[in-house]
Amino acid sequence: MALLEEAIAQGLTARAACAVLGLSERRWRVWRSRARVGDFERHAVPAHVRPYNALTPQERELIRSAVGSAEWADASCRELSVKILERHGVYVPHVSIWLFERELGIAGHRGKRRRMGVKRPEAPDTRFLKGPNQLWAWDITKLRTGVPHRFWYLYVVLDQWSRKVVGWHVSERETSAEGQRAWDRAVLAEGVPAERMPRSLSDRGAQMRSKSTATFFQDLGVAQLFARPRTPNDNPFVESLFATVKTAPTYPGIFTTIAEAIAYFTRFFAWYNDEHLHTRIGMVTPSQKHSGEAVRILAEREVIKQRTMAQRRLVNAQLGVPNKELEAAVS
């Protein structure tokens, strides 16, 4: 204060003097007004006073034991508050528990939210896929029977390159053995040599990760790829196939017997593989894509397309329709 008063007395403005000392001019004026009325002591910051409702040492120890309990390791602060209340008859607000955890440096998320910051597994690498019978995706879907809580199970093995259904199977059980049976049918139907077995792509269902399935694939020489947990987009083509299956106009919705289901899917997958023009593979059938015939078909379609466009331009030119591209080509 004395320094500022002296500088101002020598002709320096209050703003300039405060700027030199790095002090707010407003703060200096407040100090000066208080000094004139002698109320510095009245406005002095009081010493820290312990709140009347602060946690007692016994309560803090109770929180410490609850937070460190293995039984309540996944409980949130709100849950811990209720559990302490019910077990020990002591009410501790959840905010107080959180503040206590923060003092200990352990105020992170618990339960499901605790895993939110954990790095997730990598998506399956399918960049090696360049042709048919290199990667087979497979999955299981339920078929309604008309009886509550009873289902048939459709197992499908799909070639990810061509979208061809290379193997399928309907069963009354959802087991690893039935999935292996669908793979046996696919391998026999495609005649895949033992030295060039495709890789397997599936979700992390119990039938896919079982010991018997792992042993089955090891014996075949098949490497397994798995989708990330709760990430259906890692295995999207089988999911898309199941949507096509269950939204087809002919899909009955309910199969009263397995024989009825087998008869229907025998017809459906024959249509799907050999007649269905698949949008994602250039409007050819999965069988044409699988066999390599799609290359010739798409090339022929392109020739017809270009010939049609040329004839269309020629007709329009004869009719006198303005054509900027044609005029540019002539000039």
Helices (H), 13-56: 14-21, 25-37
DSSP bridge partners of 226: 202
Among 30-44, 136-150, 202-216, which is the least confidently predicted range? 30-44
Strands lying side by side in the sheet with 199-202? 165-171, 151-159, 135-144, 199-202, 224-226
Residue boundaries of the structural domains of the chain: 2-37, 57-112, 135-279, 293-325
User: Mean pLDDT, to the nearest integer, of 161-190?
Assistant: 96
Residue 280: phi and psi, rounded to 5, are -75, -5
Neighbours of 66 (CB within 10 A): 20
What is the pLDDT, as a whole number, of residue 265?
98
93 and 80 Cβ atoms separated by less than 8 Å: no
Does 228 score more than 70 pLDDT?
yes
**Biggest alpha carbon–alpha carbon distance for the chain:** 108
Residue pLDDT, tens place only, 120-129: 678 899 999 9
Q: How confident is the model at residue 183 (pLDDT cuts 50, 70, 90)?
A: very high
User: How many residues comprise the chain?
Assistant: 331
Question: Is residue 12 over pLDDT 90?
Answer: no
| Closest to 162 (Cα-Cα) out of 293, 297, 266, 268 | 293
pLDDT in tens, 275-299: 999 999 999 999 999 999 999 999 9
pLDDT at 83: 86
- Asked if 107 contacts 118 with a C-beta cutoff of 8 angstroms, the reply is no
Q: Is 228 exposed, middle or buried (0-12, 13-18, 19+ CB in 10 A)?
A: middle
Predicted structure pTM score = 0.63
Determine which helix (DSSP H) or strand (DSSP E) holds 199, and give its type and residue range: strand 199-202
How high is the mean pLDDT of the chain? 86
**For residues 26-42, average pLDDT:** 67
Is the distance from CB of 171 to CB of 155 less than 8 angstroms?
yes
Domain 135-279 is found in CATH 3.40.109.10: no
Judge residue 53's burial from the number of C-beta atoms within 10 Å of its C-beta, 0-12 exposed, 13-18 middle, 19 or more buried. exposed
Token readout for 15 is 């703003």
pLDDT at residue 231 greater than cutoff 80: yes
